[in-house]
């Protein structure tokens, strides 16, 4: 510990709450220094508030279950056995080299994570393309935000989750929150909605469940899962029918209205009521609240996005904003509430299958030229775009023979998880870098123990596009190395002695140059500026030497023009279509999934924190009393949720806060309660996002064992 308290950020979700870490000397001098979380009220996003995950985040630093030495699978025993770093790294380098020589560069895959810092995401993408020469890289953020990103780019020419800071939310007139349970996923953000209401603003929540967030709404719309697109079209139809469009804004700032209008007019309210189950009076009330407000926002999260039509669904919500003049104006706009800790930055710096740093496209010759120059390689040496996350996982053991995986646990978090697990088991070689022996790491041939967030510095970009600095507060245990050190060492063993620094700030300096001139331009951002300004919003170009003042960063986008070539926002005409899998006689019920407050994502970290585990020890099946009665199931009785892909079990939790045609399961657990065994990998044609949020299931008494 280098100072009394170190200001930093939570390791978990995209809110990236500010916190201070304070050293706590241990009675046993050999135990070193532990850290505890102290409130950081001066950080504007959370103003000191933290959820239980943030408060307990240091416990994993000193946990007995964290990995503190490499593991290599023994040929003799078949088990993972302790190994030296040299042995572990050399094994990985040898096996990846052998795969490449035998089967070609694309036989080596790389899978990253939305929790990796900007520096790690950047280096991982560079490592894949420069050292391995493979196109086969993607990451778990594909499962998180890709539909919103695709729709954002289509409409605005640029994807930044929120084009305005959260501080604008309480000052707008109305928020439609679609498929987000902020009260559980990022509790400190709920206060923005509470302040909105205190200021006289209106909150409309769209969710098939009456969540803790929906309970705060002035109006709760509970559509059938998979019908958010029809709901948005019905609202737009009603906006037109009531003459509530903003024709001046449409003419001055948008293009494509005629086609989008025609598409919406095919979704009249009575039809939308039949599709969604949301009554016409509620639709009209939503339009009244939204249009009466002087300014308004639509915020979406995974509910509408994790669908096989997620991109079109988000486009429909954006169309609603554009038609009513609620975009590109102060206190109005569309935004996506990104989920993972670096869900925003993780998608900007090149670990995505089709992207280079700075949001540059891998198939754009000018982009390749720019990035290749920064990397000191020939543009033609860079591979082209690869497969999306699920398609990559599905190809494991086929033409992708070896995989290097960092910061992800797809055995629990991928759709059709039993199939993905079987694909992973069929690999010739798997190397995993993680802080604990996750369910995926347990299948690896080599496991590398890596540093945790408080043991290293690095930047993340929160859901607002605010670039933040996590600072090192405590030394890592002996035997643990950072992901950057791992990639640097592997690059060296694979013949690239230079170009892969282990120092995060050095990587960031290179990232700045790689991003310069791109859509996500970080070139004017430095570690010093982030520290002094509590974060800097991108785009933030460096400017030239004549500029007297540095660029201030861009908290609010699109106020003058959108980021399209002509500066106009684009309507995208979309129409409703059913989910990839609709209920039938065999599978008559809809399943939707989500999170609970005490666990995070696949639970690899939070399931290993006693306090969080005590609060949320396992999965459950939430269902309506009518459905429970039909099944003859009582509260707490074991229930199996079965789809065409598999089954997951949990005790029944009976509540009137869910539609009678729908069941809900949280997705944080492996084993019998692994609900992603059940979920559908049907992909959105544009974003390649799997349809986590809706599939057809039947329910069966699970019985003991
Ligand atoms: Fe951490 Fe998110 Fe909880 Fe904030 S809301 S403390 S960032 S998990």
Question: Which domains are seen in the chain, by residue range?
Answer: 5-60 (2.20.25), 71-140+342-537 (3.40.50.740), 146-336 (3.40.228.10), 589-701 (2.40.40.20)
Nearest to 178 by CA among 141, 244, 225: 225
- What's the pLDDT score for residue 298? 98
Q: What is the pLDDT of residue 32?
A: 64
Distance from the alpha carbon of residue 41 to the mean position of ligand 1, in angstroms: 14
The verdict on the CB of residue 16 being under 6 Å from ligand 1 is yes
- Ligand 1 centroid–CA 681 distance in Å is 28
C-alpha 316/C-alpha 499 separation (Å) is 44
pLDDT for residue 305 is more than 80: yes
Ligand 1 centroid, distance to 466 Cα (angstroms) = 15
Rg (CA), the chain: 24
The closest residue, in CA terms, to atom 4 on ligand 1 is 17
Ligand 1 atom with the shortest distance to the CA of 13: 2
Residues 6+ apart with CB under 8 A from 373: none
Using CA atoms, how far residue 467 sits from 126, 366, 507, 525, 641, in Å, is 21, 26, 15, 8, 41
Looking only at the bridges linking them, the beta strands covering 466-470 and 458-461 are antiparallel
- Answer yes or no: is the C-beta of 11 below 6 A from any ligand 1 atom: no
Say whether pLDDT at 704 is over 90.
no
Banded model confidence at residue 29, pLDDT cuts 50, 70, 90: low
pLDDT at 705 over 60: no
End-to-end CA distance of the chain: 48
The average pLDDT across 554-566 equals: 97
> What residue's CA is closest to ligand 1, atom 5?
186
pLDDT at 144: 87
Ligand 1 touching residue 54 (CB < 6 A):
yes
| Whether residue 671 has pLDDT greater than 80 | yes
Site to probe by mutation for ligand 1, drawn from 16, 54, 58 as the one with most ligand atoms within 8 Å of Cβ, is 54
Strands, E assignment, 348-495: 355-356, 360-361, 402-406, 429-434, 446-449, 458-461, 466-470
Taking the C-alpha atoms of residue 315 and residue 685, their distance in angstroms, rounded to an integer, is 14
* Digit-coded pLDDT (tens) for 222-253: 999 999 999 999 999 999 999 999 999 999 99
Q: What are phi and psi of 664, to 5 degrees?
A: -125, 140
Is residue 683's pLDDT more than 60? yes
User: Per-residue pLDDT averaged across 292-321, rounded?
Assistant: 97
The answer to whether the CB of 317 is under 6 A from ligand 1 is no
Report percent pLDDT > 90 for the chain. Answer: 93
Q: pLDDT tens digit string along 385-406? A: 999 999 999 999 999 999 999 9
Does ligand 1 have an atom closer than 6 angstroms to the CB of 623? no
Ligand 1 neighbour 53 (Cβ under 6 A): yes
186 close to ligand 1 (CB < 6 Angstrom): yes
| Averaged pLDDT, 70-80 | 97
pLDDT over 80 (residue 172):
yes
Q: If you average pLDDT over residues 511-522, what whole number do you get? A: 95
Angle formed at CA 331 by CA 325 and CA 335, multiple of 5 degrees: 80
Residue in 19, 20, 50 to alter for ligand 1 test, most ligand atoms within 8 A of Cβ: 50
Q: Residue 234 Cα, ligand 1 centroid: separation in angstroms?
A: 35
Per DSSP, helices labelled H in 570-678 are 610-615, 625-631
Q: Can you tell me the distance from the alpha carbon of 362 to that of 68, in angstroms, rounded to the nearest whole number? A: 37
Q: Is 51 in the pocket of ligand 1 (CB under 6 A)?
A: yes
With a 6 Å cutoff on the Cβ, whether 569 touches ligand 1 is no
What is the per-residue pLDDT for 25? 75
How high is the mean pLDDT of the chain? 95
Residue pair 40/469 in contact by the 8 Å Cβ criterion: no
Q: Which atom of ligand 1 is nearest to the CA of 55?
A: 6
ipTM for this model: 1.00
Burial of 382 (0-12, 13-18, 19+ CB in 10 A): buried
pLDDT band at 33 (very low <50, low <70, confident <90, very high): confident
List alpha helices for 157-256, DSSP H: 182-185, 190-198, 228-241, 247-253
Q: What integer is the mean pLDDT of 544-552?
A: 78
**Which DSSP string do the residues of 236-298 spell out, in sequence order?**
HHHHHHTT---HHHHHHHEE-HHHHHHHHHTS-HHHHHHHH---HHHHHHHHHHHHHSSSEEE
SS3 652: strand
For ligand 1, atom 3, the nearest C-alpha belongs to 51
For residue range 501-511, list pLDDT tens digits in order. Answer: 999 999 999 99
Name the band, by pLDDT with cuts 50, 70 and 90, for residue 124.
very high
Backbone angles phi, psi at 698, to 5 degrees: -120, 160
Residue 274 has pLDDT above 60, yes or no: yes
pLDDT at 31: 61
β-sheet bridge partners, residue 591: 663, 695
- C-alpha 341 – ligand 1 centre gap (Å): 9
- Phi, psi (rounded to 5 degrees) for 690: -75, 160
Report helix, strand or coil for 404: strand
Which tens digit of pLDDT belongs to each residue from 571-615?
Answer: 999 999 999 999 999 999 999 999 999 999 999 999 999 999 999
Question: Residue 30: its pLDDT value, please?
Answer: 62
If you take atom 2 of ligand 1, which residue's CA is the nearest one?
A: 13
Centre of ligand 1 to C-alpha 458, Å, is 17
| pLDDT tens-digit series, residues 609-666 | 999 999 999 999 999 999 999 999 999 999 999 999 999 999 999 999 999 999 999 9
Residue 17 Cβ contacting ligand 1 at under 6 Å: yes
pLDDT tens track for 140-154: 999 988 999 999 999
pLDDT band at 26 (very low <50, low <70, confident <90, very high): confident
Over 80: is that where the pLDDT of 3 sits? no
User: 609: which residues sit within 8 A by CB, 6+ positions away?
Assistant: 53, 56, 59, 60, 63
What is the C-alpha separation between 362 and 525, in angstroms, rounded?
Answer: 24
pLDDT value at residue 549: 84
- Given a cut of 80, whether residue 703 has pLDDT beyond it is no
- Pocket residue to mutate for ligand 1, from 11, 15, 43, most atoms within 8 A of Cβ: 15
pLDDT of residue 23: 86
Confidence band of 4 (pLDDT split at 50, 70, 90): confident
Q: Which ligand 1 atom is nearest residue 19's CA?
A: 6
Q: How far is the CA of 522 from the centre of ligand 1 (A)?
A: 24
Cβ(188) – ligand 1 distance below 6 Å: yes
318-351 per-position pLDDT tens digit:
999 999 999 999 999 999 999 888 989 888 999 9
Measured in Å, residue 163 CA sits from the centre of ligand 1 at 21
């Amino acid at each position: 510990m280098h100072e009394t308290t170190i200001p930093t950020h939570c390791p978990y979700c995209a809110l990236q709450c500010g916190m201070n870490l304070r050293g706590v000397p241990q009675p046993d001098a050999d135990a070193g220094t532990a850290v505890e979380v102290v409130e950081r009220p001066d950080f504007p996003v959370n103003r000191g508030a933290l959820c239980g995950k943030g408060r307990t985040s240091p416990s994993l630093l000193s946990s007995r279950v964290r990995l503190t030495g490499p593991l290599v699978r023994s040929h003799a025993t078949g088990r993972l056995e302790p190994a030296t770093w040299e042995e572990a790294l050399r094994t990985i380098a040898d096996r990846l080299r052998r795969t490449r020589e035998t089967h070609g560069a694309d036989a080596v895959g790389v899978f990253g994570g939305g929790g990796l810092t900007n520096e790690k995401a950047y280096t991982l993408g560079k490592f894949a393309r420069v050292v391995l020469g493979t196109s086969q890289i993607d990451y778990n953020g594909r499962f998180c935000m890709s539909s919103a990103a695709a729709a954002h780019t289509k409409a605005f020419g640029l994807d930044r989750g929120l084009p305005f800071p959260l501080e604008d939310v309480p000052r707008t007139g109305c928020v439609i929150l679609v498929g987000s349970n902020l009260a559980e996923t990022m509790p400190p953000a709920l206060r923005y909605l509470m302040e909105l209401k205190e200021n006289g603003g209106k909150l409309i929540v769209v969710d098939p469940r009456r969540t803790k967030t929906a309970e705060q709404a002035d109006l709760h719309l509970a559509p059938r899962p998979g019908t958010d697109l029809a709901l948005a079209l019905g609202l737009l139809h009603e906006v037109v029918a009531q003459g509530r469009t903003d024709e001046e804004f449409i003419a001055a700032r948008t293009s494509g209205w005629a086609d989008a209008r025609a598409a919406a007019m095919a979704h009249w309210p009575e039809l939308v009521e039949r599709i969604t189950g949301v009554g016409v009076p509620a639709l009209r009330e939503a339009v009244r609240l939204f249009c009466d407000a002087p300014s308004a926002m639509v915020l979406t999260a995974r509910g509408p996005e994790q669908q096989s039509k997620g991109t079109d669904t988000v486009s429909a919500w954006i169309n609603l904003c554009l038609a009513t003049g609620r975009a590109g104006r102060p206190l109005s706009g569309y935004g996506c509430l990104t989920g993972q800790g670096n869900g925003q930055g993780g998608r900007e710096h090149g670990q995505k299958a089709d992207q280079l740093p700075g949001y540059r496209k891998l198939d754009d010759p000018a982009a390749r030229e720019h990035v290749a120059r920064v990397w000191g390689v020939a543009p033609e040496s860079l591979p082209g775009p690869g497969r999306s996350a699920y398609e990559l996982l599905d190809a494991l053991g086929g033409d992708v023979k070896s995989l290097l995986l960092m910061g992800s646990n797809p055995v629990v978090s991928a759709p059709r998880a039993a199939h993905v697990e079987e694909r992973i088991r069929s690999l010739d070689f798997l190397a995993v870098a993680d802080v604990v022996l996750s369910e995926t790491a347990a299948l690896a041939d080599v496991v590398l123990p890596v540093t945790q967030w408080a043991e290293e510095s690095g930047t993340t970009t929160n859901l607002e596009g605010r670039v933040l600095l996590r600072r090192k507060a405590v030394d890592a245990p002996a035997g643990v190395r950072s992901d950057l050190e791992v990639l640097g060492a592997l690059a060296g063993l694979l013949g690239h002695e230079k170009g892969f620094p282990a120092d995060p700030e050095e990587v960031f300096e290179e990232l700045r140059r790689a991003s310069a001139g791109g859509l996500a331009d970080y070139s004017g951002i430095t570690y010093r500026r982030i520290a002094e300004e509590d974060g800097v919003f991108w785009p933030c170009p460096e400017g030239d030497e004549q500029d007297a003042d540095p660029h201030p960063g861009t908290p609010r986008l699109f106020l003058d023009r959108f980021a399209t070539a002509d500066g106009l926002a684009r309507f995208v005409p979309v129409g409703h279509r059913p989910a990839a899998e609709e209920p039938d006689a065999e599978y008559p019920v809809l399943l939707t999934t989500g999170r609970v407050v005490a666990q995070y994502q696949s639970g690899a970290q939070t399931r290993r924190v006693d306090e969080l585990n005590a609060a949320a020890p396992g999965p459950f099946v939430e269902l309506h009393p009518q459905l429970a009665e039909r099944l003859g199931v009582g509260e707490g009785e074991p229930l199996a949720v079965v789809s065409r892909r598999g089954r997951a079990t949990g005790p029944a939790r009976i509540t009137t806060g869910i539609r009678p045609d729908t069941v809900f399961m949280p997705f944080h657990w492996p084993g019998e309660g692994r609900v992603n065994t059940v979920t559908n990998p049907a992909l959105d044609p544009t974003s390649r996002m799997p349809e986590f949020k809706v599939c057809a299931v039947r329910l069966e008494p699970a019985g003991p064992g």
